[in-house]
Structure 1
Amino acid sequence: MTLAADQIAVLPKVLLHDHLDGGLRAATIVELAREAGHELPAADPDALARWFVEAADSGSLERYLETFAHTVAVMQTADNLRRVAREAVLDLAADGVVYAEQRYAPEQHLQGGLSLQEVVDAVQAGFDEGVALAAEDGREIRVGTLLTAMRHADRGDEIAALALANRDRGVVGFDIAGAEQGFPPSRQASAFRMLREASFPVTVHAGEAAGLESIAEAVQVAGALRLGHGVRIMDDITVTTGPDGMPHARLGRLAQWVLDRRIPLELCPSSNLQTGAARSIAEHPVTTLRRLGFAVTVSTDNRLQSGTSLTREFALLAAEAGWTLDDLRDVTVTAAEHSFLALPERRDLIDRVILPAYSQNGSGRHRA
């Protein structure tokens, strides 16, 4: 039986890969752009929301990334950053997300005269307000921040130091993002070394637009504890049909390494379709990788550009790839287990919030 969206909507969810500048409300962009004098492709919120999705549907990661010029443009003051962060938390809580790691690049929000630390302070204030407001509405949510360095800007050391300076003030990890081709993780090697020596968690965008070399560097050079997307790990897996008519898989050395060490994949189905990393939800590698035993998680990437939510991603997998309630439970537990929360907090999230809710909805008690 296909799970209905309203069934999925009430389930607790864990979101590990969601960009703050990719999740703004269209109405907020229109309002803030008017105040800033920034010209938009459309002035009506509904039309603007459609434009973002259509522009992101190009099949190219580079074209997809161009849409962020409009969101980043309205995120250049402390007040605007605070509002965007607050609204993001409220929107996620309304979608049933109980833990989210929100990522953004502080270096992209300096055009209004803010310092890097002032950017972090403003965003954190917004997150805190959103969590408090959600609680008043009876919704429990926690938010951890991932600070991102842009791959092409070579400010990795500076952003890594900023993350460490705020590790006890809401920042739980570090990331690099932007165009993969030509900007491998090794360009930021000193930043990753600094973070490793400080015992600070790292996730890396890899294996989306670029292939196995990007994934290998993320794991071997950056020491990534998770792979942002990682969908191109399929390039190192050969799936054939055996004499018994059943699918069989042969893994290359890199894929075997990622599997054996349970390095989680932050897979974003709808976004991967838009950037050309997958052809359909039914054929998306997320299902094959899960069946092969990889540590699979499901995320939204950019809710505005994909016109999506985590409920929608789960519903698409149920409707088009045959995912069951147990599948959804398992990827949720996997995401919680591999979040950058402290271990006791992860266990509490799983045992107190996630498993009881799925059990009440007909799923067996199980850890992925």
Structure 2
Amino acid sequence: MSQSSFPHSKYSLDFIKEMPKADLHLHLDGSLRPESLIDMAKRSKIELPSYTVDGLFDLVFKENYQNLGEYLHGFQYTCSVLRDLESLQQAAYELAQDNLAEGVNYIEIRFAPQLLMDPARGITFDKVMHAVNDGLAQAQREYNQSDAVKQQGKPPFHYGIINCAMRMFGAKGFSPYYTQMFQLLADHKPIDVIKSAAMELVRASVRVRDEQGLPIVGLDIAGQEIGYPAHKFKDVYEYAQENFLLKTVHAGEAYGAESIFEALTQCQADRLGHGYSLFSPDMIEDEQITDKQAYVKNLASYIADRRIAIEVCLTSNMQTNPAIGELKHHNFGHMLNNRLATVICTDNRLVSRTTVSNEYKLALDTFDVPLKRLKDIVAYGFKKNFFPGNYVEKRAYAKQTLEYFDKVAHKYGFI
């Protein structure tokens, strides 16, 4: 990717790593350490295309992909090894550690628990959630009791868990749980089975949050947008809304701006996952939208005015939408120009072979982002997150991290 000559590309990788950061769009099953994936596969006797890191990078987790389908190919291997509670806890712990190593103070890990459940082996929803939380909590305890927090004054580490319902799944091959759902509801239409699974997920999420105290902070729907619009999950999102579970939606990743509109109006989304197509009127397919430019303009203004944050995943978008070409053509530039609240995220650290720091570096080397705007982007990661504590605690935490940002910026001569 070509880099610009903007003066603000002087932000060094050292500065970026040291400044406080948040990742609000982070898939657990797309972010394993490759070495751990290999070890887990051997432990669970899961067949992989290669048992070396270089081999996996050549065959599965590539730098570039032909399309979204190829991008998603590797999830069959990661989900297979994560249907083991020990591996699941390890993956969550290591993901937190990897973020902490590059100065990420807050993460929201998202995944689809029903992809990992295996009722016949006793791997239930509750056990899956506790395994993930145990790994994250261990990393939190270790870091927050360390000298980095106690003596160096770095912000503590916090996290939340976002549970994903799947927009679509088939009768076989997706997971033991989904296969069983189709068997139990054999006389239902496929979309009704999919919606039933989503409702079971949100009900279980609220129950475990309220009765067992796990920091399940949000609901998401992931998977293929085309053919599975957000409005089909309106009842699921209404249940979340009624039970104070915050809401994000994968929208505008591989479908037009009308998908974003539905996420906002039918699912009452508090944040948007990706949102790339917002400024791509050519991707609009709804024939009732005759003035596509005006539609985009009005929708962007609506989002900006309500400060609905967009979870931006630059590398992932470039990999799943090769037609973008160079990074300078990514719609992140339009998001900046239209003053949208944006948060730099990774999506999948393994599948996209990236880090939060790398995503910031790409953005700052390609787009004109003065220090004040950079601080705004960092701030949105802490002000627009689904923090598991109350609002007063969230504000205090955001203030602490932004004060630390100023400290780091002063150290590097920016202020």
- TM-score, normalization by structure 2: 0.80
1:257-277 Cα offsets, whole Å, 9 max, x none, are: 212212111110000000107
- Of residues 27, 31, 36, the one that matches 2:44 is 36
Bigger mean CA deviation after superposition, 7-16 or 317-326: 317-326
Structure 2 unmatched ranges of 5 or more: 1-6, 150-155, 170-193, 283-293
* Bigger relative contact order, structure 1 or 2 (CA pairs below 8 A, ≥6 apart): 2
1:189-224 Cα offsets, whole Å, 9 max, x none, are: 221111112222100000001112211111111110
Give how far 1:254 is off. Answer: 2.2
Distance 2:31 2:99 in 1: 10
- Of residues 68, 73, 78, the one that matches 2:75 is 68
Indicate the residue corresponding to 1:165 in structure 2.
207
Give how far 1:24 is off. Answer: 0.3
Distance 1:255 1:318 in 2: 22
Residues 136 and 197 from structure 1, CA distance in 2 versus in 1: closer, same or farther, beyond 3 angstroms? closer
1:230-279 Cα offsets, whole Å, 9 max, x none, are: 11110359xxxxxxxxxxx9953322221221211111000000010743
Give how far 1:345 is off. Answer: 2.6
Distance 1:189 1:353 in 2: 35
Indicate the residue corresponding to 1:216 in structure 2.
261
Distance 2:359 2:370 in 1: 13
- Of residues 288, 296, 305, the one that matches 1:260 is 305
Distance 2:229 2:300 in 1: 19
1:328-354 Cα offsets, whole Å, 9 max, x none, are: 321110121111123223322221122
How many residues are matched? 354
Q: Give yes or no for contact 1:281–1:321 (8 Å, CA) kept in 2.
A: no
Give how far 1:146 is off. Answer: 0.3
Matches of residues 333-348 of structure 1 in structure 2 within 5 Å? 333-341=379-387, 342-348=390-396
User: Does residue 132 of the first structure (1) align with residue 180 of the second (2)?
Assistant: no
- Of residues 175, 191, 194, the one that matches 2:239 is 194
Matches of residues 1-368 of structure 1 in structure 2 within 5 Å? 1=7, 2-54=10-62, 57-111=64-118, 112-137=121-146, 138=148, 140-153=156-169, 154=194, 155-167=197-209, 168-236=213-281, 251-276=296-321, 278-341=324-387, 342-362=390-410
Distance 1:205 1:166 in 2: 23
Aligned residue for 1:314, secondary structure, equals: helix
Aligned residue for 1:166, secondary structure, equals: helix
Q: Give yes or no for contact 1:271–1:306 (8 Å, CA) kept in 2.
A: yes
Indicate the residue corresponding to 2:183 in structure 1.
none
Aligned residue for 2:360, secondary structure, equals: helix
Q: Which amino acid counterpart does residue 30 of structure 1 have in structure 2?
A: I
Give how far 1:325 is off. Answer: 3.6
Structure 1 unmatched ranges of 5 or more: 238-248
Distance 2:394 2:218 in 1: 15
Indicate the residue corresponding to 1:240 in structure 2.
none
Indicate the residue corresponding to 1:241 in structure 2.
none
Q: Give yes or no for contact 1:3–1:324 (8 Å, CA) kept in 2.
A: no
Aligned residue for 2:78, secondary structure, equals: helix
Q: Give yes or no for contact 1:177–1:204 (8 Å, CA) kept in 2.
A: yes
Give how far 1:59 is off. Answer: 4.0
Bigger mean CA deviation after superposition, 324-333 or 168-177: 324-333
Indicate the residue corresponding to 1:245 in structure 2.
none
Q: Give yes or no for contact 2:15–2:408 (8 Å, CA) kept in 1.
A: no
Aligned residue for 1:202, secondary structure, equals: strand
Q: Give yes or no for contact 2:111–2:163 (8 Å, CA) kept in 1.
A: yes
Q: Which amino acid counterpart does residue 33 of structure 1 have in structure 2?
A: A
1:101-159 Cα offsets, whole Å, 9 max, x none, are: 11010001123540111111111111111212233443631110001111114111011
Distance 1:120 1:356 in 2: 32
